[in-house]
Structure 1
């Protein structure tokens, strides 16, 4: 029962924060709204750039691991073949 009360209170606080944010935005001047839009767009672009950078790094590391694994498999196969002969 306590968990449900906590979740309900948290939901109520979230709704209250949303209404407050909407009210604050509604009462901003056009210049302030434009400034806010600029900040949001800037943060969005930074997030996108960071995502692209991380994605590129992960792909590079994955390719390196694949190449290394293929080389190891090849080396092991060569050793097995050498032992058979």
Structure 2
């Protein structure tokens, strides 16, 4: 519990220092920080969209394969049914 509290205090201190440093920097430096944050935000958005697209593609592939296997199983069942019907006659 104490370690978690110390970690949170350290993070809070780091955040306070970063805020102080930002407020005391020049407008150009502040703009550079804003640009970095915007770039990071855009990159995270792109990453999220890529992951979402890949997950969707994977789900489609799995669904397609499941459909193929279901069709194969149905065809095999029809074959077995035909064999049973023809042998019982």
Consecutive unaligned residues of structure 1, counting only runs of 5 or more, are none
Structure of larger gyration radius: 2
TM alignment of 1:57-76, pairs within 5 A: 57-76=54-73
Corresponding residue for 2:86? none
Question: 4+ residue stretches of structure 1 with deviation over 2 A?
Answer: none
**Larger relative contact order (CA 8 Å, sep ≥ 6):** 1
Consecutive unaligned residues of structure 2, counting only runs of 5 or more, are 83-89
TM-score of the superposition, structure 1-length normalised? 0.87
TM-score of the superposition, structure 2-length normalised? 0.84
Aligned residues: 82
